[in-house]
Structure 1
Amino acid sequence: MSDARKDHCATYAARQWLGRDRRASGVVELARHLVGIQSQIPTTPALAARARLPSAGPDDMRRELEQARRLVRTWTVRGTLHVVPTDDLPLFWRALRPEWETRWSKYLDNHVSREQREQAAAAALQVLAGGPATRTEILAGAQEILGCREEWLAYLFSSWGGVLKDLAYAGLVVYGPEREGEACFVRVEDWLDLPAVDMDPDDALAVLLDRYLKAYSPARLQDFVHWSGVTAGRAREALARLQGRVAVRDGWLVTEGEVLPGRGPLQGGLPRRR
């Protein structure tokens, strides 16, 4: 491995809290720094914490998710499950809801109508008004409420997320406590106390880009596109809104004054908008 490559790897490890100096921090701060911890497999966040934090215990993540509720599990970037700080949820919703509504949820249109999605969503919320419920329990309740056992309704409650993703990106439903190893869903209003956020979606995405660079730079804009799942156009708009705070050199995006391994401190401004 070349010296430049070693420098890059060392930089990435340090930024992602995987360097030699382990952080004396907690799991909430870790999730905030990493802009969410991948959670397609429920055990992943706890493993990520134990790899980075010397004080992280095996139950810390679950305690923050279910008791303190300073962390929450839901769908965020790329339409995938992550654990994120609860008070960051409105930011993710503002930044990413346009992607779900206009792009990510298109696969549902091949199987169900918008009216069917709305009916299933209303029924799911009615079931969850009674408290946390598993996916199977929500489906059974929706079938009873709608008097329907057709395949389209079951499809909307499949493991792909379906209508529960509709409700998640609308800011109405998140993952709640586990019951005998099975995940339950809850209404946001019953489970969390959230700050109100009224922010333009592209401004919110710019905040995510700024945070992403603190944890994953040096990075290219296309890296952020892949990580977030947004379009290149929206990524460029987010970058433009960080003008004066992010520099570009040879295609690399990093905060002004930071050092690009093998190249020295970055100088200069953003590329011109086209």
Structure 2
Amino acid sequence: MTISDLKYLRLHNQLISQQPYANAGHVVATFGAMQAQDYAAAKWAIGLRLPDATDEDIETAIAQKTIVRTWALRGTLHFLAATDIHWILSLIAPRLNTLHASHYKRLGLDKPILSKSFSAIEKALLNGKQLTRTELAVILNKKGIATNDLRMNFILLRASLDKLICFGERNGKQFTHTLLDEWVPPSKAIKNEEALALLAERYLSGHAPACIKDFVWWSGFPLTEAKAAFAMVDDKFEEKTIGGNVYWLTKKLSDFKKKPSLYLLPAFDEYLMGYADRTTIVDEKYIKYIATSNGIFNPTIVVNGQVEGNWKRTLKKDVVVIEPNIFEAISKSNQSFLKTTAKRFGNFLNAPFKLV
């Protein structure tokens, strides 16, 4: 297997070059979790992996509680399948809370303050209520709990990791929070060892070929635990050396096709975010245009599995303007692909598109 094969197989396993599912929950479950701090981008990340999906379809999946947005891997916002959210949070929360302990201490968020905060939040959200961050902050302030200086950020983060709250439906353009157990009833508990193995299996199913260090980056677990997790799934996956590096992939390879393609991927897409080493798909001289020093990942143009540019979109009253920035000249056939994928993005937003 060559690096070229690796790119096409990733496109296949990442559900970009194939769309076998018609349900957003199945897509998200395939990955284990999907990056979602950029809300609009995260919806497109799911939508492009579904046949003919629209932005409204993704909003519907959220409202129907098929997928749930919350703080998860590495303490950042992700979409998780509703069927997975409880066991994944149970697995990752203890480690993340330990990692964040110094922040809690610096902000004066000790156990009594957090307990008082959670009691107030729970009471405010009982019986299916959904409140915005601002509304919850007002309630906490009335209880004498300060929410300034990042305190609200970490109160909400901890409440999410401890499975008290998750995001609900939006109120206009405002995000709301609701009680997780009311939104998605608890599922059967899974032992940590089994849960870590399942997370590794989900990761490899949606990201392979991938290295152990990629899983370490993506999951936030240390190398020792990552190796143990991979060892527990070696009946389904195997090691293979590609381009001098050791990758894990399914023992029975999917029937992936190496056909010409061009895709407009959103910011923070798993095709970039899912790996510690991105030089297999991005020329090193262009990485600065894809990932900034402060951790911002831009939308990308991917040609035959290789990142060949970035793009931005501007929503106007009656049209979505798409402005591609190609690093190097592309062929006429790829220019045609660009128009096709731009139209697909316009259809997702239910708006005509304009390439500039």
Q: Tell me the TM-score normalised to structure 2 length.
A: 0.64
Quote the residue 2:3 is aligned against: 5
Match of 2:173 in 1: 181
1:26-37 → structure 2 map (5 Å cutoff)? 26-37=23-34
Partner of 2:142: 144
Instruction: Return the match for 1:129 from 111, 126, 129.
Output: 126
What is the CA-CA distance between 1:73 and the residue it aligns to?
0.8
Do the aligned partners of residues 103 and 23 (structure 1) sit closer, same or farther apart at CA in structure 2, a change above 3 Å counting? same
The normalised TM-score by structure 1 is: 0.82
- Determine the C-alpha separation between the residues in 2 that align with 1:234 and 1:171: 23
2:202 to 189, 211, 225: 211
Structure 1: gaps of 5 or more residues: 262-274
Partner residue in 2 for 1:53: 50
Q: Residue 240 of structure 1: CA displacement?
A: 3.1
RMSD across aligned positions (CA): 2.3
CA distance in 2, matches of 1:119, 1:230: 30
Shift of 1:201: 1.8
SS of residue paired to 1:177? coil
- Of residues 227-236 and 9-18 in structure 1, the stretch that sits farther from structure 2 once superposed is 227-236
Give the alignment partner of residue 229 of structure 2, picking from 230, 233, 238: 238
Q: Kindly provide the amino acid, as one letter, of the partner of residue 47 in structure 1.
A: W
Deviation at 1:169, TM superposition (A): 1.4
CA separation in 2, counterparts of 1:22 and 1:255?
19
SS in 1 for 2:228: helix
Q: Displacement, 1:136? A: 1.0
Q: Is the contact made by 1:24 and 1:55 (CA closer than 8 Å) also made in structure 2?
A: no
**How many residues matched?**
249
Give 2:90's aligned amino acid: R
Q: 1:235–1:24: structure 2 CA closer, same or farther, 3 Å change rule?
A: closer
Percent identical among aligned pairs is 21
Match of 1:154 among 148, 163, 166: 148
- Residue matched to 2:20: 23
Query: What residue number does 2:265 align with?
Result: none
Q: State how far apart, in whole Å, the 2-side matches of 1:136 and 1:58 are.
A: 26
Does the Cα contact within 8 Å between 1:127 and 1:142 map onto a contact in 2?
no
Q: Relative to 1, partners in 2 of residues 1:70 and 1:50: Cα closer, same or farther, differing over 3 Å?
A: closer
Amino acid at match of 1:180: G
The secondary structure found in structure 1 opposite 2:176 is strand
SS in 2 for 1:18: coil
Cα separation, partners in 2 of 1:215 and 1:95, compared to 1, 3 Å: same
Letter in 1 for 2:140: A
Structure with the larger helix share: 1
**Runs of 5+ consecutive residues of structure 2 not aligned to the other structure:** 257-356
Q: What is the CA–CA distance in structure 2 between the aligned matches of 1:181 and 1:40, rounded to whole Å?
A: 15
Tell me which stretches of 4 or more aligned residues in structure 1 moved more than 6 Å: none
- Cα distance in structure 2, aligned partners of 1:198 and 1:232: 25
CA contact (8 A) 2:197 2:230 kept: yes
How far did residue 105 of structure 1 move? Answer: 4.7
Shift of 1:243: 4.3
Q: Which residue matches 1:117?
A: 114
Residues 5 and 254 (structure 1), Cα distance of their counterparts in 2 relative to 1, 3 Å cut = closer
State how far apart, in whole Å, the 1-side matches of 2:132 and 2:223 are: 36
The CA distance in 1 between the partners of 2:23 and 2:52, in whole Å, is: 8
Measure the CA separation in 2 of the matches of 1:226 and 1:104. Answer: 17
| Aligned match of 1:41 | 38
**Mapped partners of 1:45, 1:255: distance in 2:** 26
Quote how far apart the aligned CAs of 1:237 are: 2.5
Indicate the residue corresponding to 1:256 in structure 2.
251
Whether contact under 8 Å (1:37, 1:83) holds in the other structure is: yes
1: CA distance between counterparts of 2:195 and 2:21? 29
Q: Which residue does the alignment assign to 1:91? A: 87
Tell me what 1:266 maps to: none
Taking the aligned partners of 2:226 and 2:90, their CA distance within structure 1 comes to 14
Q: Give, as a single letter, the amino acid of the residue that structure 1 aligns with 2:91.
A: A
Which residue of structure 2 aligns with residue 74 of structure 1?
A: 70
